[in-house]
């Protein structure tokens, strides 16, 4: 099973993807962890070819669960995906999650991706690219974009699970784990 998980920043893509990967015995591919380098340097902007190369190498596995919204690697992941999961939660749910996550990360000074030294800073919360602002500013755009993308003929032949509430996540993970066992 190869699953692509998408959704607005703060929707819980990485957490969902990790849980699903464990449940189905697949490799988790956290695109943010591949993208973000020490000093908040992102490959997506500064070395897109290397970003694509790293994602392609990770996605060469037979079973994986990838999470992220990076359009530059869609051509690598989406054609190989056997299923899509869209965490399409309402804006208040997203904002509550992303703000809570940002507070916890800033207070705990936890490194976001091992080996990068990148930690959350309250001083960056007003930046337009900080996850809080990013989630607010891109929520409607992402919802419209994915609503259009998933009706395109090239993806219509694969299952799409559009979750509208976080309580649906555990049920889907259980169902897909059972499905993976029967394959």
**How much is the average pLDDT of 90-112?**
91
Q: Using alpha carbons only, what angle is made at residue 93 by residues 87 and 96, rounded to the nearest 5 degrees?
A: 125
* Annotated domain spans of the chain: 2-182
| Alpha carbons 124 and 59: distance in angstroms, whole number | 32
Average pLDDT value for the chain: 93
DSSP, collapsed to helix, strand or coil, labels residue 169 as helix
2-182, superfamily in CATH?
A: P-loop containing nucleotide triphosphate hydrolases (3.40.50.300)
| pLDDT one-digit tens code per residue, 125-159 | 778 888 899 999 999 999 999 998 888 778 888 99
DSSP string covering 22-48:
HHHT-EEEEHHHHHEEGGGEEHHHH-H
pTM recorded for the entire structure: 0.92
Q: Residue-wise over 138-152: b if at least 16 C-beta within 10 A, else e?
A: ebeebbeebeebeee
Strands (E), the chain: 2-7, 27-30, 36-37, 41-42, 64-67, 83-87, 160-163
Which residues pair with residue 162 across a beta bridge?
A: 86
């Amino acid at each position: 099973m190869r699953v692509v998980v998408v959704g607005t920043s703060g929707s819980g893509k990485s957490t969902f993807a990790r849980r699903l990967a464990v449940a189905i015995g697949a490799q988790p591919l956290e695109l943010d962890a591949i993208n973000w380098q020490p000093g908040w340097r992102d490959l997506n902007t500064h070395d897109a070819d290397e970003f694509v190369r790293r994602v392609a190498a990770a996605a060469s596995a037979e079973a994986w669960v990838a999470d992220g919204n990076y359009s530059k690697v869609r051509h690598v992941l989406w054609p190989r995906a056997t299923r899509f999961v869209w965490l399409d939660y309402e804006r208040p749910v997203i904002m509550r999650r992303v703000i809570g996550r940002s507070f916890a990360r800033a207070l705990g000074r936890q490194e976001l991706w091992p080996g990068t030294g990148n930690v959350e800073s309250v001083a960056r919360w007003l930046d337009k690219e900080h996850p809080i602002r990013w989630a607010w500013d891109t929520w409607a755009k992402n919802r419209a974009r994915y609503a259009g993308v998933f009706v395109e003929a090239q993806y219509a032949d694969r299952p799409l699970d559009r979750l509208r509430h976080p309580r649906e996540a555990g049920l889907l993970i259980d169902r897909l784990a059972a499905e993976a066992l029967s394959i």
